[in-house]
Amino acid sequence: MSNYRYWLGGAFVLAALALIPTSGSAYTTTLLFTMLISYTLAQSWDWVGGEAGYINLAHFAFYGIGAYAFCLSLLNGIPIALCFVIAVVVTSIVALVVSFPLFRLRGDYFAFATLAILPLTELLAFNFDFTGGADGVVLPPKYVLFEAYYLAIGLVGLTAIATVWLIRTRFGYALKAIRNDEEAAEICGIRIFPAKSRVLIMSAGFASLAGALQGWQLSYIDPTTVFGLDVALIPIAMALLGGSGLLWGAV
């Protein structure tokens, strides 16, 4: 019964959020949209930083990669639904590739290594021609605030479901075991690298969707906006201050 009430309460909150655009101002809708995106970023960061115990300071880089992959795909005339898929696939591939060197490290070494990824991606975005350099990427002007807002609500729902699944399944328990004692977890038969790589890819995929939605809503992205360190730490602070490992901790 408690679980039923829990989910009913969550559905009620999302339904109430869905009614905001019909009565609130564009400013209110934009503010709530930013909060929804921030929740997804913070909660998906916590899957690696909280559940697995690896402080991933490159999480915002996946957000930026997703934003660029989406916007560049949209500029090339690709259908919008496929643009979201491309954003997730590209970001997941990047996460898989970087997981091989990153997960050879632990503790502070892992955190510092991931911290280096963020300025590296920003530097690459500044210097590649296809990313628009410092000018960024400008989408054709179109008012999509409400569409992006409703998709952000759906993304929050998916993020919450993924969090519950992660907390209550054997995979989530394996991550907790890795966090508590990696050597003991390996002795118990847990495949360490596949588990860590899987959760990093999962986390990066959700971050990429958040970045794609943000880029679509703004109709403009640049390296500083989507890779800047000044905003990259906000989702991490939300997760840590709100309570790591909690469904609504990022709120």
**Over the stretch 57-116, which tens digit does the pLDDT of each residue have?**
999 999 999 999 999 999 999 999 999 999 999 999 999 999 999 999 988 899 999 999
Kindly report the number of other CB atoms within 10 A of residue 108's CB atom.
9
Q: For residue range 13-71, list pLDDT tens digits in order.
A: 677 667 677 666 788 888 999 999 999 999 999 999 989 999 999 999 999 999 999 99
pLDDT at 1: 46
pLDDT at 251: 56
Q: For residue range 139-195, list pLDDT tens digits in order.
A: 988 878 889 999 999 999 999 999 989 988 999 999 999 999 999 999 989 999 999
138: closest CA among 67, 209, 197, 221? 221
Contacts 24+ apart (CB under 8 A), 122-130: 122/64, 122/223, 122/224, 122/227, 122/228, 123/223, 125/64, 125/68, 125/222, 125/223, 125/226, 125/227, 126/223, 130/72
| Residue 5 Cα distances to 10, 43, 129, 230, 247, angstroms | 9, 22, 52, 38, 15
The pTM score is 0.91
What letter represents residue 77's amino acid? G
Each domain of the chain, given as residue ranges in start order, spans 2-242
175: closest CA among 103, 248, 238? 103
Q: For residue range 194-226, list pLDDT tens digits in order.
A: 999 999 999 999 999 999 999 999 999 999 989
- Average pLDDT value for the chain: 88
CB 26 within 8 A of CB 169: no
CB 134 within 8 A of CB 222: yes
175: closest CA among 165, 188, 164, 166? 166
231: closest CA among 68, 32, 59? 59
pLDDT at 74: 95
Where residue 250 falls among pLDDT bands split at 50, 70, 90?
low
